Amino acid sequence: MRLEGIIAAIPTPFHQDETPNLEALESNVKRWNETSLSGYTVLGTTGEFVSLTIDEKKRVLERAREAAPREKIFLAGTGAESTFETLALTRWAAELGADYAILVTPHYNRRGFSSQSLIEHYHRVAEASAIPIVVYHIPACTGLSLEPSTVARIAEHPNVAGIKDSSGDVLALQETKRLCPEEFAVLTGSASILLAAFTVGAQGAILADACAAWDEPAELLESLAAGDIERARAIQMRLARFSRDVVVGYGIPGVKALLDRMGFYGGPPRLPLLPLDSDAAEDVERALRALRAAS
């Protein structure tokens, strides 16, 4: 299954007592199945993977895999701080039937890391994994930036399928595309640079924004493919404002509040994240209305 198109980075729903709401997860995924989305990333940043136990991660992945049809790309977030734990969860995700494992860069002990240690981390997992792996680069959260030259070394392993680059750095993304093999998929994690990312060769995007706004990124990609640059630029401007007002402005609680307003189940985040108050929830709903009114 080719790693391309618009993929939603979906949240993990919780009950009010902060236990995972697997029924709501299943319901949400079944509704997203009816959209233009190419697939799902489960247990990414939006999925609050850092706040879940190993057992909870497994139950979330299992229920999401059951709800998602095989024609949708399914990426399982299996990254952890140690290569040992990452390997264990990646093997489990492969047995579950995930199409890809997406691995956030280890970072807690980053002062002791080198480029070579990160290359060996990804290669060790890739070598042992029955499914292809995807590098997840999100320096705003990890405090660690992967240079394009390091990504190119990681991409030398045939079981490393691509990268989700959430740095927002178009020049770095372009250099990654230049240095890596043609079959290595480069995807952006930032709706704010979607048009620029596609222009320099990205094959797709993995976006929290796409949980609520899935048609606009797909239409941007279609417009660009058809050579309609003006339409693509107009969509990009609307998406950038939407992303600023929801995902960048309010983060995971903003996405969840917006889903609640749309008739999905968003529910609360897990502490120490706090849910939005009513005024902020109105802000995110207003942002979605503005995006759609301009379409």
In the block, residue with structure tokens 């705003």: 140
Find the catalytic residue in 72, 164, 177, 256. 164
In the block, residue with structure tokens 């940043």: 45
With contact defined as beta carbons under 8 Å apart, do 98 and 76 qualify?
A: yes
Helices (H), the chain: 22-32, 54-67, 83-96, 115-128, 139-142, 148-154, 170-179, 194-199, 215-225, 229-243, 249-262, 278-293
| Catalytic-residue membership of 177 | no
| Token representation of residue 289 | 């209305």
Residues in Cβ contact with 19 at an 8 Å cutoff, skipping those fewer than 6 apart:
none
d(CA 215, CA 213): 6
Strands (E) in 112-268, as ranges, are: 133-137, 160-165, 185-188, 204-207
Distance set, CA 153 to CA 74, 115, 139, 254 (Å): 25, 9, 18, 36
Strands 5-10 and 100-104 turn out to be unpaired
Q: Known catalytic residues?
A: 164
